[in-house]
Amino acid sequence: MLKIENLNFSYPDGTQALKDVDVDIPPEHTFAILGQSGSGKTTLLNCLARFLTPQKGAIWLNGQNIQTLSGAEFRSKVGVVFQQLNLFPHMSILDNLTLAPRTVQLRDRRDCKASAMGMLERLGIADLANSYPAQISGGQAQRAAIARGLMLQPEYMLLDEPTSALDAKTSDEFADWLRELRDDTSFIVVTHDLRFARRAAKHGIAMRQGRVTCSGTLDELICDIEQ
Ligand code: ADP
Ligand code: MG
């Protein structure tokens, strides 16, 4: 369970991007953080990823304050896939997947290759193994970046605007893929794309001007947002 308690964050220029944010995020398959541009979603995600340190409040992972965890411990529990994906362009998708297990977990090269192939197969993208990032589509790259993140088997994986570079059809396919994905990791998806969120997630929160304005099922959130 991830618990966000009374979180407040201001940027150095004084912009208060998060105001008294309280949310419980259960280990559910996919949880959506919705809101218009500028509502504080990315700031919240960056606090969850420990890239930003809130001035007030705390984030608890299974009862532990995330600020007290070591870097390695935290990274093994919470993964992030950025908007720009950051797949290494000079490496095949398979090598992109084996890099962290080899260098962070110091696992054997052959063993890593086998588990990376297993991961790509499980996610239905084994055909991408030997392709390079520049050779695959946006939707495929999104899946490959998630596969890479899942190699470390985090409890939570944070996705920021995963459909921003995808057209409507690819975005629908990606939502269906994410929903059907068989994995123990809980995804937290930040998005302003209501159609995608509704297709991929059951529950979430809506944000407006740095505050959580609604929490519940996607239908409840969408009513709140469309008011
Ligand atoms: P969202 O992801 O929902 O679009 P953000 O978290 O990026 O929202 O932004 C929330 C607020 O913080 C906005 O008012 C935005 O202009 C401001 N903001 C974001 N990044 C910075 C920054 N680096 N410095 C100052 N203000 C920022
Ligand atoms: Mg954003």
pLDDT digits (tens, 9 = 90+) for 20-68: 999 999 888 899 999 999 999 999 999 999 999 999 999 999 999 999 9
Q: Locate the ligand 1 atom nearest the alpha carbon of residue 13 and give its number.
A: 25
Q: Is the CB of 11 under 6 A from ligand 1?
A: yes
Stated as kind and residue range, the H or E segment containing 170 is helix 168-180
Q: Locate the ligand 1 atom nearest the alpha carbon of residue 161 and give its number.
A: 2
Short-list 117, 70, 72, CA closest to 97? 117
Q: Rounded to the nearest 10 degrees, how much is the dihedral formed by the CA atoms of 62, 67, 68, 70?
A: 100
pLDDT range class, residue 133, cuts 50, 70, 90: very high
For 80-129, the pLDDT digits (tens) are 988 766 899 999 999 999 998 888 778 888 899 999 999 999 888 999 99
Written as one letter, the residue type at 207 is: M
Cα–Cα distances in angstroms (integers) from residue 14 to residues 1, 55, 59, 158, 187, in the given order: 31, 12, 22, 26, 31
103 CA from centroid of ligand 1 (Å): 33
Q: What backbone torsions phi and psi does residue 208 show, to the nearest 5 degrees?
A: -145, 125
